[in-house]
Amino acid sequence: MIAAGWTVHLVTDIFPTDGQFTGDDEWIEHGLKQGWTLLTQDKRIRNQLPVLNRLVAAGLTIHCLSSAELSPSARAERFERHRDKIWRYGREGPPGFYVVYEDSVVRRWP
């Protein structure tokens, strides 16, 4: 959990063997059952249609950093900078896959 005024559950909090050994469908399905807005840096998820279809059917969102090359502190800072948009899209939709750029958050699927 990160102390920035919102609760972030890391994959390793739920799946102790680390996210490297947990399939995207598994951690995403867990998040969907919890009703969470999901955060990631893995843009490959955008190409996993069965996972994305379940996301949209659940009425939820996933927010992906535009670059996986950011340092951990830069990742946290970028998500924090766009917190209001992430929360609003997570609560009000529309559901789908969003990319979190340095200066914007853009819905990329569907």
In a domain, 4, yes or no: no
Band (pLDDT 50/70/90 cuts) for residue 1 is very low
Which domain range does residue 78 map to? Answer: 11-109
Domain count, the chain: 1
**Amino acid letter at 50?**
P
pLDDT level of residue 9 (50, 70, 90 thresholds): confident
Q: How far is CA 68 from CA 9, 26, 73, 93, 94, in A?
A: 18, 20, 12, 24, 24
- Surface-to-core class of residue 39, CB atoms within 10 Å of its CB (0-12 exposed, 13-18 middle, 19+ buried): buried
In a domain, 69, yes or no: yes
3 domain-assigned: no
In a domain? residue 72? yes
Q: How far apart are CA 36 and CA 104, in angstroms?
A: 21
Asked if residue 93 belongs to a domain, the reply is yes
Asked if residue 6 is part of any domain, the answer here is: no
Q: Which long-range contacts (CB under 8 A, 24 or more apart) does 67-75 make?
A: 67/41, 68/41, 68/42, 68/43, 70/41, 75/41
Do the domain assignments include residue 87? yes
Q: 76-105, pLDDT tens digit by residue?
A: 999 999 999 999 999 999 999 999 999 999
Q: In this structure, is residue 81 part of a structural domain?
A: yes
pLDDT tens digits for 30-52?
999 999 999 999 999 999 999 99
